[in-house]
Chains A and B, each alone.
Chain A
Amino acid sequence: MTIKKNKPAFRLSKPHLLSIEDLSRDDIMGLLDLAEQIANLDPHKGQKKEVLKGLTQINLFFESSTRTQSSFELAGKSLGANVMNMAVKSSSISKGETLIDTTMTLNAMRPDVLVVRHFAAGAVELLAQKVSCSVINAGDGSHQHPTQALLDALTIKRAKNRFEALTVAICGDILHSRVARSNIQLLSALNARVRIIAPSTLLPPFPERLGAEVFTSMEEGLKGADVVMMLRLQRERMNDTHVPSEREYFKFFGLDAEKLAFAKPDAIIMHPGPMNRGVEIDSIIADDPRSVIQEQVQMGVAVRMAVLESLSKRMHEQQQGTV
């Protein structure tokens, strides 16, 4: 498939991608279309688009990550950027430098785009206010993970070819999940029917007002679902016990064949990873043909390339402006 040459290049309306809330409907559709085009390119036919040539992308991860960081790295490199990974553990952040100071130091190196993950909600936004380049949120605390939601949407689109009237059940640790918050916003903006299923201790306050239907029983919540999205139980964010044991959690909220039977027969199974097999998802289900978990990873690179590309024009303009 070739890209239509005469179509004007799609660009995001804002200089940063911090939250799904920042995206207009046009932004969302534009990003998904662009990502789909990229996903359809044959990597062996040399159809590389070097739209980031001459630009510097810094991946700044304050929280460990394998798939998101490598996905952004691959996306940046595929588009011709110079990609640098900041190893936070060995940098001055661990020597007590504040986030703002670190940011100002990095800003002085004139990167064109910063990809940031931080364990505190709002940290990426704070950083974006202080730098002159574009910032992409790669996950901030329990707040937002916009590229994950976009890649989930793209995966759903490819499997189901629509969002309207599609029932998406997001199950598990909603309280601590930035993936859930971004997905609820994005999928409801696309007119899908979003449900959240979790024990009450893992639901945020006023869950019903977040834009999703709330269930505390998997059997009820999964009834007639087209998409079953499992979330990881985030032990590291729990200061105290929210569930008594993993085996009890698995019994009532883990996805197994029995519970999955309540969903539609052609329901797809998703998980943002990393998975805790036997905690929130039965190992057999994770490898079931209905599972699109590997596809999600693949779409991750395409979506991140689309995000970078949609910001690239502004990056080039910014660079020329500063020379």
Chain B
Amino acid sequence: MVTKDTTAIALINAQLLDPTSDSPTPGGIVIRDGLIEQISGDLRRNAPKGATVIDCGGHILAPGLVDMLVYTGVPGKEHRETLATASQAALAGGVTSMVCMPNTEPVIDDVALVDYIKRHATDPGYIHIYPMAAVTKGLRGNEMTEIGLLKQAGAIAFTNGKDSIPNAKMMRMVLSYAKDFGALIVHFTEDNDLADPGVMNEGLVSSRLGLPGRPVEAEIITLERDIRLVELTGCRYHAAQISCAQSLEIIRKAKAKNLPITCGVSVNHLTLNENDIGSYRTFFKMRPPLRTEDDRVALVAGVKDGTIDVVVSAHDPKDADVKRRPFEQASDGAIGLETMLPALLRLYHSGDLTLSEIFRVVSHNPANRLGLKTGQLKVGYPADLVLFDPMTPWIVDPSLLHSKSKNTPYDNERMQGRVLRTFVAGRELYRYS
């Protein structure tokens, strides 16, 4: 039998940030067997004998981020991102769990493919990786997948990828059927019939640039419809990425009715707006598109007041090949795993959000919604932890980012706040040097 003391790690001299409390408190954590064994206000003297002691230097120790929306290139587009590179990027960003979207080649719409991801995700150097499965075959929106079997195989939630299910009857079927299995439906609410061939937010900027726009109505009409159907079916529903002020109103009303609804927003939509596109900068081309500054401000307020439950990176690696094109022809998507926390810290430094509010939406809430035992500093919970210094200034150099693709909208931007160490199930997998 291994003596207990040598397997323990004591993280001392930290500011402990538990998302369920209002502000960080000084203290330390003892990790053993991958779990949080002890949380103490005074570990300097009480650390278990023989334990590896790590001095946190007074920096902030928080539960690792749970990113509910990540695109990788696995399977089919490994030149953009592998599970290994995504994992490295995540670690450098303090993300300890991520959910992979099924927008792959082939689409993850079959038990064997869920199994494929699960088996490839077991490398001890990786963060926790959970596959989300397609809710319709090939993400085509017209034929349901085997939700029951997929869930048994390990699909953590179900989605139709970046596209909404256009047909209301099909959506009703999906929600009714998924409810029986307690499955979570993560839906993008943008009506492509209304939004296509738009490539950015419809508005004055699109008018001036001569680019076709995607109106906010495309998002809110589908969201309204979905909420009616959730009311009808009672299925657990998560609006994957809302992007405008009007969607917040709809979500607020639905929550007032106690419907099983949550919603997410990407870090990009909280920190950037359509003006960033400037002269056709394709790294700001996303779906849903970046909206106006008024929308951004409303979304930040939505995070603060709890209307928005989850913030995601919407990490979407794309190579230069598909990004360095005229705006209309360029692919959408931006990477974000590594920059999500630093970008959100801008909202901390600007006084818009507290650290607890940030960690609620990037760690505690998504873990809860997905039913994962993480996202809290709690004895008995897995030691998925991030140690960060919210003050360190740095400049984003795309060549130093760990992701295989470099399509970051924060290209050469100034950041304040940096991840120092990341622990996954008690093992230190990242240390900033």
Contacts and interface: CB of A to CB of B under 8 A. Distances in A.
A178 B210 CA distance: 7
A206 B280 contact: no
B209 A143 contact: yes
Nearest to A177: B210
List the 6 closest A-B pairs by CB distance, nearest first.
A122-B280, A143-B210, A120-B326, A142-B210, A123-B326, A204-B207
A181 B204 contact: no
Given A143-B209, A205-B207, A122 B202 contact: no
Interface residues of A, number: 24
A121 B212 CA distance: 10
A118 interface: yes
B326 A118 contact: yes
Contacts of B203: 205-206
B207 A144 contact: no
B305 interface: no
B281 to A, nearest CB: 9
A99 B326 contact: yes
Contacts of B208: 181, 210
Contacts of B280: 121-122, 125-126
Given A122-B279, A126-B280, A204-B206, A100 B211 contact: no
B325 A121 contact: no
Chain B interface size range:
20 to 34
A6 interface: no
Nearest to B197: A239
B209 A98 contact: no
Interface in A137-172: 140-144
Given A122-B326, A126-B280, 19 more contacts: A98-B321, A98-B325, A99-B325, A121-B210, A122-B211, A125-B279, A125-B280, A126-B325, A140-B210, A142-B212, A144-B210, A178-B210, A204-B206, A205-B202, A206-B204, A209-B204, A210-B204, A239-B196, A239-B197
B213 interface: yes
Contacts of A122: 209, 211, 279-280, 326-328
B324 A210 contact: no
A181 B208 CA distance: 7
Interface string B92-134: 0000000000000000000000000000000000000000000
A207 interface: yes
Give the dominant DSSP class at A's interface.
mixed
Interface in B292-332: 321, 324-329
B191 to A, nearest CB: 14
A19 to B, nearest CB: 9
B210 to A, nearest CB: 3
A122 B329 CA distance: 11
Chain B CB within 10 Å, residue with most, of A121, A178, A207: A121
Nearest to A118: B326
Contact of A205 (B206, B321, B326): B206
Chain B CB within 10 Å, residue with most, of A120, A142, A178, A239: A120
Given A204-B207, A205-B203, A205-B207, A98 B324 contact: yes
Interface string A206-232: 110110000000000000000000000
Contacts of B325: 98-100, 126
Nearest to B212: A142
A100 B210 contact: no
A99 B327 CA distance: 12
Interface of B: 196-197, 202-204, 206-213, 215, 279-280, 321, 324-329
B210 A181 contact: yes
Contacts of A207: 207
Contacts of B213: 205
A11 B196 CA distance: 42
A205 B274 CA distance: 15
Chain A CB within 10 Å, residue with most, of B212, B213, B279, B326: B326
A98 B324 CA distance: 9
A182 to B, nearest CB: 10
A121 B211 contact: yes
Interface in A31-47: none
Chain B CB within 10 Å, residue with most, of A121, A122, A142, A143: A122
Interface in A115-143: 118, 120-123, 125-126, 140-143
Contacts of A140: 210
A185 to B, nearest CB: 9
Contact of A120 (B204, B206, B321, B329): B329
Contacts of A99: 325-326
A171 B399 CA distance: 49
Given A181-B210, A209-B204, A100 B324 contact: yes
Contacts of B211: 121-122, 141-143
Contacts of A141: 210-211, 326, 328
Nearest to B211: A121
A23 to B, nearest CB: 15
Contacts of B324: 98, 100, 126
A5 B215 CA distance: 56
Contacts of A210: 204, 207-208
7 contacts: A99-B326, A100-B325, A125-B280, A140-B210, A142-B210, A204-B206, A206-B203
A142 B211 CA distance: 7
Contacts of B212: 142
Contacts of A206: 203-204, 207
Interface string A65-103: 000000000000000000000000000000000111000
Nearest to B280: A122
Nearest to A239: B197
B295 to A, nearest CB: 15
B202 A120 contact: no
Contacts of A123: 326
Interface string A248-290: 0000000000000000000000000000000000000000000
A100 to B, nearest CB: 5
Contacts of B197: 239
B23 to A, nearest CB: 43
A155 B182 CA distance: 70
Chain A CB within 10 Å, residue with most, of B202, B210, B321, B324: B210
A143 B208 CA distance: 7
